[in-house]
Amino acid sequence: MRLLIMGPPGAGKGTHAGALASLVGGPHISTGDLFRDNIARRTELGRLAEKYISAGEYVPDEITDDMVRDRLGRPDAARSFVLDGYPRTGAQVAALDALLDARGTGVDGVVALTVPDDELVARILRRSAVSGRSDDSEDVVRHRLAVYADQTAPLVRAYGDRGLLHRVDGTGSMEEVRLRVESAVAAAAGPDA
């Protein structure tokens, strides 16, 4: 099964995507993690991405799409995967559709975590003490939330129009959210699964 996990910064995508990936039997592919890994290894891709990430801006589509195409082309992602943090722009949705279409497949379901903005800011600022992420300061966080609302929230609604969307309340304990996410995936898998 091919799943997307979407939601604003701090919603818990990374936390729940790992469990989801074990559930569907495919890799957890986080574009944020792939970029941070490239930055840490000082690759050319990392050098290109770094300035956007630190400013809370999206990395340009062509760079991001190429990275995702490479990753999805690896054998472990042939049948199942959980994409975390991609797509985030209309162009990325089109690129992903084209990529999967060429493989005769498509997205099977989208889990969107919802958390109120104030809670998101509080969570990220708490996390910033240990994350060491250059984009976890308050002004950059608020900018990331605005970019999300502007560019990515409409895409979540568009997946709703396709009948693929499962909105999950991302507040409460980690265990509560995990159970809600699991029911959403069971719904995405349909009655035969």
Residue 144 lies near ligand ADP (rule: CB under 6 A): yes
Distance of closest approach, residue 15 Cβ to ligand ADP, in angstroms: 11
Out of 2, 36, 71, 88, which one is annotated catalytic? Answer: 88
Residue 81 has φ and ψ, to the nearest 5°, of -165, 165
Residue 59 lies near ligand ADP (rule: CB under 6 A): yes
Residue 122 has φ and ψ, to the nearest 5°, of -60, -45
Amino acid residing at 152: T
Residue 12 lies near ligand ADP (rule: CB under 6 A): no
Residue with CB nearest ligand ADP? Answer: 32
Instruction: In whole angstroms, give the CA distance from residue 92 to residue 55.
Output: 20
Residue 91 tokens, joined: 């162009």
Distance of closest approach, residue 190 Cβ to ligand ADP, in angstroms: 27
Distance of closest approach, residue 77 Cβ to ligand ADP, in angstroms: 16
51 is catalytic: no
Torsion of CA 69, 146, 90, 106, to 10 degrees: 60
DSSP letter (8 states) at residue 92: H
- Helix (H, G, I), strand (E, B), or coil: what is residue 169? strand
Residue 85 or 109 having the CB closest to ligand ADP: 85
Q: How far is CA 143 from CA 23, 34, 68, 185, in A?
A: 33, 21, 24, 31
144 is catalytic: yes
Residue 81 lies near ligand ADP (rule: CB under 6 A): no
Closest to 13 in 3D by CA, of 76, 78, 85: 85
Judged by CB under 6 A, the stretch of 21-29, 31-39, 173-181, 182-190 that binds ligand ADP is: 31-39
Closest to 171 in 3D by CA, of 132, 115, 101, 102: 115
Residue 9 or 170 having the CB closest to ligand ADP: 9
157 is catalytic: no
41 is catalytic: no
71 is catalytic: no
Residue 31 lies near ligand ADP (rule: CB under 6 A): yes
**Site residues (vs ligand ADP, CB under 6 A):** 9-10, 31-32, 35, 52-53, 56-59, 64, 85-86, 88, 92, 135, 144
Q: Kindly list the catalytic residues.
A: 13, 88, 127, 133, 144
